[in-house]
Amino acid sequence: MENTIDTNALGEAIVKKLKTIYDPEIPVDIYELGLIYDVMVNEDFEVKILMTLTSPNCPVAETLPREVEEKVTSIEHVKATEVEITFDPPWSKDLMSEEAKLELGML
């Protein structure tokens, strides 16, 4: 009998892990900043994350996607993680959560 993995629990674990990754210039995690556009998990527990950066010239454009891949792949049951960077739509402050705006004194 095959082991079944609760995909909802796995999704929650991925979000929890993403909330441990911070933009070095803004003291808010990348999830609350609205940098994560989509998280997809296939039946082989391979994760694909569609994300953006605060700007195309972001100083962590090389290191931040790698950090996301490494941290998400470290989650139990995740076989591999691929991060795709997009600038469509471009990031704006409107994508930030209320929590992030509150943290940055924007509310």
**What is the per-residue pLDDT across 16-57, written as a single tens digit (0 to 9) for each?**
999 999 988 888 999 999 999 999 998 889 999 999 998 888
User: Is the pLDDT score of 1 beyond 50?
Assistant: no
SS3 content of the chain, % helix, strand, coil (to 5): 30, 20, 50
User: How far, rounded to the nearest angstrom, does the alpha carbon of residue 101 sit from its chain's CA centroid?
Assistant: 18
Mean pLDDT score across all residues of the chain: 91
d(CA 97, CA 107): 11
Total-model pTM? 0.89
Q: What pLDDT sits at residue 3?
A: 56
